[in-house]
Structure 1
Amino acid sequence: MPTIMSSNTERWENGMPKFDTLIKGGTIVDGTGSPRFVGDIGIKDGIITDIGAGISGDASDVIDGTGKIVAPGVIDAHTHYDAQLHWDPYATNSGWHGTTTIGVGNCGFGFAPCHPQDRERYMQMMETTEQVPVNAMRTALGWDWVSFPEWIEHLKRVPKGVNVASYVPLNPLLIYVMGLEAAKSRPATAEERERMKQELHAAMDAGAIGFGFSYQGEHNTHIDCDGTPMPSDTMSREDILALAEVLRERGEGSIQALVDTPGARFGEIALEVARVSGRPVLHNVVIVNDFLPTYHEEVLALVDKAREEGLEIFTQTLTTRGWNEFKPMDWDIWNIIPEFREFTFAGDRAAKVAKAADEDYRTRLRNVYRPELLAPAGGPLEHYVLNDACGVAPWNQYEGKSVGEIAAAVGNRPTIDVFMDIVVDTNADSDFLVAEGMSFDDEKVAQVLKHPFTIPGTSDGGAHVKFWAGGQYSTDAIIWMVRETGLMTLEEMHYKLSAVPAEVLGLHNRGTLAAGQAADLFIYDYEALDYPRLKYEIAHDLPDGDWRRVCKPQGIERVMVNGETTFVNGTECTGATPGRLVGSGGADMDEQLMHPMAIAAE
């Protein structure tokens, strides 16, 4: 059994309680992979000062952890909470499920650097690609920054209930230096490339953890608001590698690269970036998909190949029992088929309904559609389940049935026509469920999660809020892989959920429970841990009263960020905002991000 990690056992220090918080008798899973043990944790000034058995000392808050798991806070490296933080300091859904640190700026999307004249365009991009409602952004962002260092200063001022690590997103960087049209149509000039490198240096000096980008050519489901690819998807490889050289020069930072999806395989670019940068590269994405049974094996083979070469490649998993619930107005994952993009970009509700009713459009769609084309995008149209027909006959009698089943029941009509009839008759307000984009194959998912260079996650938190909520991935992983199947130990799982992402992101004082580490943790009832399945809750909590889909936890009794409690009993918020901006430069950068004026004075 571990012993107390601090030699000072006095009950008081300088006339004050020794601890701000003392957790007594919890089952501690420290995130290192070491065996769990029953013990205590003492916290002072946001730091774990003591951990072990039999800790004594007074505390302002004593928590009885008897029978509960005490684990390091989840580090959710792949989110899009860049905007949502401005109206939701806790980055929910993730913050409810034990996440204490998030990464933003992923996939090349974000808001800095940005010239004032481009602000509206950036928000339109974020709405089109990540489905962050533009009205919410217009209401909440404030836009008191231009450069990336100014964005960092802005994030410091934003109240935060989670810690935030920010990549430099390459789409804004390209547009900032080259202009939108040039960024979409040609490589950078030598002068522009040098300026981008200087901007990245300045961003890293200010606290960025590296840069994030997507590189999917014409095949990304992330389509710009004008229907064309995003700049980074078609940018010059030489421009990407030039930015990778910056991290090599600095000897710090990491790179997030969305380069592999079932519909677009560009994994080799991740290896090129790792060779040039010499830094950790977080490859996206590895999934287990029953329609594409070898995809996950191919991605893991790529990672193994990179490691044999000495490259520091990790790949992030999308291996959760997740699902989508959507209205045709909001759904865009089918954009991998160009004809479906016509519906996505048709315009407002009336225009989309008119498109769905147009016989010429339907004919073209029938001619190109094959079920396997949507296998990488949540599953084929035939498998979409009709959740809600809005009371419209005859479709309301088929609620709970798939579109394929409905098509058979109404006389074997073409699937395309049945689906579009439902869209037209319900004014595009019908609601569908699709849960086949990710496999529920226990053994295959365990194979992916147990691989030494995978990281659970890809929650996409903050994105796709009209049809997706992924922040419960950590809760699901514990339930599925540990409690239900026994294919992983709890020690293995918490190592994966916290310590490994901390390593990749360069967060040197987070991810494990040990003396001197930040007191980011959550306490939960292992047997009671749960979440609703295949049914999101609707929350009308966006700045303008707009709605999103959410998934709340059960059995999580307390979440603590930097030693302060943010949630109790699942979703009861304390109102505390102890989150910090965190960097990848170790203690010095953490101190600079916390106390910039003091560092400048030195």
Structure 2
Amino acid sequence: MYDVLIRGGMIVDGTGRQRYVGDIGISGNRIEAVGSRLDGAAIETIDAKGLVVCPGFIDVHSHDDLAILHDEELPFKLRQGVTTTIIGNCGHSIAPMPDDFELREGLRQYMEPVLGRWVSASSSFGYSEIIDFYNDIVKVNKSVNVGALVGHGPLRVRVMGFSDARATTTEIKEMQRLLSNAMEAGALGLSLGLMYVPGCYAGEEELKALAETVRFYNGIVTAHIRGEGDLLLPSIREMLEIARCTKVSMHISHLKAVGKKNWGTIDEAIEMIRAARREGIDVTCDAYPYAAGSTTLLSLLPPWVLQGGVQGVLSRLANNEIRRKVHGELEVQGSDWENVAYITGWDRVILVSSPSHTEFEGFSVAEIARNMSCTEIEAYFRLIEVNNGTGTIVIHHMDERDVERVLAFEYTAVGSDGLPSTEGHPHPRLYGTFPRFVSKYVRESEILTLEQAIQKATSFTVDRFKLGERGRIQIGSIADIAIFDYDKFEDVATYEKPKQFTRGLRHVLVNGRLVVHNGTIVGEHPAQFIRRCTN
């Protein structure tokens, strides 16, 4: 007798092979049988006739590091059909934190707009030891599996504070020791946030040394590169050189070209990756299915202003001479940093979370400047100050044709890059990435077949990030499964009303147990912490 029997579904098995109608028998947490007409009874039978049955989606790029500790169901993921989320991206993770309270608070202030609020009143932000964080992930009830990267940011701050100096040999060795601890605890790899503090200060020697440590453990390095506009191509070239020299597996996060004058350069970026792969460099990328991104208010500042974290920024803006200098730098494109606001335009930078002044949420910085009767840059400074350095923005800086090209690229995985804040208006990708990927780019635009799309969102990521026996509908695989109505599966979340759940999702199984039944979350918590598979 099976525990669960799924009958008559249109099976898209995650391998890229042609879909077929069949049954799936599940015993325990594994798929025991797959066939056209399976014999035998089951404790739970699901009629999937007319529905797509596929592996559960894997969000290769999330920021759910805090959400997984405080929200057992993660409904914004489950209701998309996501069964595994990968945390620790863009150099941000909540371990290993420095022991120094001020440094720890500095990281909290800087990372909260990305990761959400730390709600524990009984302890300081994050975890000193990575193994303690991973053990807590194991202990908490959860409906979505979790895999974790370790962020470069906490490693560097723990060793060097928020200094913009190049790391010494001794400091690099200490970062390598901390990274080794994380890899031995089961981390999937290292994430870099080279647009953010403190990653933007890291030099070639430091990055290569850390990549060598990851390579020793057969892990992966993911990179939010230094620039995605004017600096897109040299930023990719930097990562390819690190991969070439160290032989590490490299993954470019949310590949895109920002700023109208850079639209179309994505073709050259893709060709760079293809050429590197022909050379034997192991490099891939991911993307989200939207032409707008989302990040922190502070990320638009020149890197030198960010030294010392949020408090360093606020103290510099309080100095009129420095304030005028920063204003001047934001008026022109920098030669050695990516001035995203300049190449995009303040009219396309939308404030979506402003805890201290929610009345500004949903308006562009250009509109807010008119309301304040000041320059756009001055309005930006004031928003930073009134929000004490917090707040998030959505930036409409991409071309839809570039988005299509990246998603169609054979070495692209799918990730939401969602920021799980309960405040303001989060980017709709938090709620809608995977149904939008299927509805817009398979059903409507037809740039991918359903088989190709499902493979990108499942087995491709499993193999790339060494997640074990997941991501395929085949005998012996772990039964993480999504079942949806293909014609009705679509995102509902919008930029104006982002907190809306997917239509057309019927059932989700995680480790063989139903967690969504007939579109309703049932309160089961069978999910696991997935350590890097070493086989």
TM bucket by the smaller chain? 0.7 to 0.9
Deviations 1:241-269 (A, max 9, x none): 2222233334x211112225325442233
- Which residue number in structure 2 is paired with residue 244 of structure 1? 211
What amino acid sits opposite 1:315 in the alignment?
C
The partner residue of 1:335 within 279, 293, 301 is: 301
Give the AA of the match of 1:198.
Answer: R
Is the alpha carbon distance of 1:236 and 1:135 closer, same or farther for their aligned partners in structure 2, counting shifts above 3 Å?
Answer: same
> 2:235 matched to 1:255?
no
Q: How does 1:108-507 map to 2 (within 5 A)?
A: 108-118=91-101, 121-122=103-104, 124-129=106-111, 131-132=113-114, 135-139=117-121, 145-176=127-158, 178-180=159-161, 184-190=164-170, 192-215=171-194, 220=195, 222=196, 229-230=197-198, 232-250=199-217, 252-263=218-229, 264=231, 265-289=234-258, 291=260, 292-321=262-291, 331-332=297-298, 334-335=300-301, 365=327, 369=331, 379-383=344-348, 416=376, 436-441=396-401, 444-462=402-420, 466-469=424-427, 470-471=429-430, 472-507=432-467
**CA shift in 2, pair 1:290/1:493, >3 Å:** farther
Q: Tell me which moved more, 549-558 or 364-373.
A: 364-373
Work out the CA distance in 1 between the residues paired with 2:332 and 2:393: 19
Q: 1:133 to 1:233 in 2, by over 3 A?
A: closer
Q: What is the alpha-carbon distance in structure 1 between the residues aligned to residue 186 and residue 91 of structure 2?
A: 17
Q: 2:507: which partner in 1?
A: 558
SS in 2 for 1:511: coil
Structure 1 residues 122 and 95: alpha-carbon distance in aligned structure 2, compared to 1, 3 A threshold: farther
Partner amino acid, structure 2, of 1:482:
V
Determine the C-alpha separation between the residues in 1 that align with 2:299 and 2:213: 34
Alpha-carbon distance between aligned partners in 2 of 1:201 and 1:573, rounded to the nearest angstrom: 38
Which residue of structure 2 lines up, in the alignment, with residue 544 of structure 1? none
TM-superposition CA deviations, 1:518-574 (whole Å, max 9, x none): 11111111111122253454xxxxxxxxxxx6342111112221112222454x321
Q: Secondary structure at the match of 2:253?
A: strand
Q: 1:432 to 1:100 in 2, by over 3 A?
A: closer
Cα shift readout 1:34-87 (whole Å, capped 9, x = no counterpart) = 111111111111111111210122111111101111111111111111111111
Aligned to 1:108, the other structure's residue is in SS state: coil
Q: Which amino acid aligns with 2:212?
A: E
Compared CA separation, residues 551 and 273, structure 1 to 2 (3 A): farther
Could you tell me how far apart the structure 1 residues matched to 2:467 and 2:189 are? 12
Q: CA deviation at 1:283?
A: 1.3
Q: Which residue of 1 aligns with 2:533?
A: 585
Structure 1 residues 241-250 or 56-65, which shifts more? 241-250
The number of equivalent residue pairs is 517
Task: Tell me how far 1:306 sits from its aligned partner.
Answer: 1.4
The 8 Å contact of residues 556 and 568 in structure 1, kept in 2 or not, is answered as no
In 2, Cα distance between the equivalents of 1:159 and 1:347?
38
User: Which deviates more from structure 2 when the two are superposed, residues 72-81 or residues 368-377?
Assistant: 368-377
Match of 1:53 among 16, 19, 36: 36
The letter for the 1-side match of 2:467 is: L
CA apart distance, 1:407: 9.7
Q: 1:122 to 1:520 in 2, by over 3 A?
A: farther
- For the 8 Å contact 2:66–2:116, the answer to whether it is kept is no
CA shift, 1:113, in A, is 1.9
1:96-129 per-position Cα deviation (integer Å, ceiling 9, x unaligned): 21111111122221122234444x6445424424
8 Å CA contact retained: 2:2, 2:27: yes
Q: Name structure 2 gaps, 5 residues minimum.
A: 354-358
- Is the 1:523–1:556 contact (alpha carbons within 8 Å) kept by the matching residues of 2? yes
Q: Secondary structure at the match of 1:531?
A: coil
CA contact (8 A) 1:377 1:437 kept: no
Cα offset, 1:468, TM superposition: 2.7
CA contact (8 A) 1:378 1:435 kept: no
Post-superposition offset of 1:27? 0.7
Matched residue of 1:107: which SS? coil
C-alpha distance in 1 between matches for 2:381 and 2:207:
45
Identity in percent? 25
* Cα shift at 1:586: 4.3
**Cα distance per residue 1:170-212 (max 9 Å; x no partner):** 2222333x2425x64341334x444433333332222111211
Which of these residues, 478, 484, 497, is aligned with residue 518 of structure 1? Answer: 478
TM-score (norm 2): 0.82
Contact 2:491 2:501 in 1 (8 A): yes
Distance 1:418 1:361 in 2: 9
Q: Distance in 2 between matches of 1:433 and 1:194?
A: 36
Q: Give the partner amino acid of 1:455.
A: A
Q: Give RMSD over aligned pairs.
A: 4.3
Counterpart amino acid of residue 212 in structure 1: S
Inter-partner Cα distance in structure 2 for 1:213 and 1:421: 27
- Gapped regions of structure 1 (runs ≥ 5): 1-17, 223-228, 389-394, 538-548, 588-602
- For 1:69 and 1:54, the matched residues in 2 are separated by 17
2:521 corresponds in structure 1 to 573
Distance 1:112 1:365, change over 3 A: closer
For residue 165 of structure 2, what is the amino acid of its counterpart?
Answer: S
Contact 1:19 1:57 in 2 (8 A): yes
What CA deviation, in whole Å up to 9, does each residue of 1:338-391 have, x standing for no partner? 9999xx97999xx9xx99xx9x97998589537998766894223467999xxx
Task: Give deviations 1:316-351, integer Å, cap 9, x for gaps.
Answer: 224425576x9xxx844543699999xx97999xx9
* 1:558 counterpart letter in structure 2: H
